[in-house]
Amino acid sequence: MDPAGNRGRGRGVRGAAGAGVRPDWKPPSSTGNGGGDAAGGASAPAVVAPRNGTTGGAGGGGGDGRAHQQVGRGAVRAARYLPEVVVTRAANAPSKQGARGKQIVLKANYFRLTRAENMCVFQYRIDFEPVIENVGLICALIKTQAPVLGPYIFEGTMLFLYNKLRSEELELQVRDSRTENLYKMRIRHVGTVDMQSTMGLMILNLMQRQAMNSLELLVMNRHHFDPKAKIAIPQYNLELYPGYITSIRQHEKDVLLCVEITHRVLRTDTVYKMLNDQRNQPGSYQENFKRTIIGSIVMCTYNSKSYKITDVDFNTTPSSSFSKRDGGSITFAQYFKDTYNVTIRDPNQPMLVSTPTMRMQRSGITTPILLVP
């Protein structure tokens, strides 16, 4: 297989469940929306629209905005003032409207969103003790406190609530129903978000993403795909997934929701099968496997995340150990069993290496990521 055939957007090799890191790397805590990972037995928390929420309507136009200020540790940046009307055309610019001919009506895949004038959202920082690295578990634990929190949006360590809690700081005891482990959940108020601000735009995007998650769509690289509508191409071991790309942005006179159609092509064979096939071929199977897999994009089924393979580490296996954040040591196999309830049946297989993307590096992941074939 030519690895070049697996490069590019929408292409990839479906990998078996499992993703890890080098033994000297501490697994990062993932960030995500209220839906969380598919693994860990967690389901997406339901989103209840606020009374003065966002309404949609066809059309286009411009927007206004009001400022707010974030305070406290954990506040999200990019909260700045927006002018009431954003104008991009100079007053003396020539008109692009024709003077003769027949007028026609054009429609675009943009929908106008109307924000309530005085709507605000309360921002909190949420921490767990001991630290939880599985986003799916975090979302499941937060969901158990929905009667206390009310409608909410969760992103990273930030919790956005439509109703302000009675106290500035709150500590709750929560239990993992799967393992019966107890955790301390600490919630601290750090600011208030004006929905007319740029931070309000971010929250609108989070609301849209959670609404898409409730449709039982598959999330791959932050886009949503419909597994029930997939098209199988068995003669080429491929599957075609139709999906959607959504974005909410400030335009000239309105906040607009853009909805685009996209597709993703997945191979139905696994990396582990490709590894075993190379073992049965003449020559050095290690070199052959490297030539086959390096440059390919694999998708881990436990979290539907995609990674580009940059190397293969034959000296590290799922039986190898790495250091956790609390200073302890654990094998990759046990880590995946504890975190994602995934059992790795071949403890002697090599590990795939993926260099962190620039986005991962900005979030603090700077060392290579290891994946289980």
pLDDT digits (tens, 9 = 90+) for 134-153: 788 898 999 999 999 999 99
Q: Where are the domains of the chain?
A: 3-30+268-371, 120-198
Torsion, Cα 257 258 259 264, to 10 degrees, reads -130
What's the pLDDT at 363? 65
User: pTM for the full model?
Assistant: 0.60
Domains 3-30+268-371 and 120-198 alike in fold: no
pLDDT means per 10 residues, the chain with 373 residues, are: 38 38 38 36 31 38 38 41 57 78 90 83 92 84 91 90 91 87 92 86 89 85 88 91 92 88 89 87 85 86 81 91 80 86 88 85 78 87
CATH assignment, 120-198: 3.30.70.2620
Would you call 1 exposed, middle or buried from its count of C-beta atoms within 10 A (0-12, 13-18, 19+)? middle
Note the CATH number of domain 3-30+268-371. Answer: 2.170.260.10
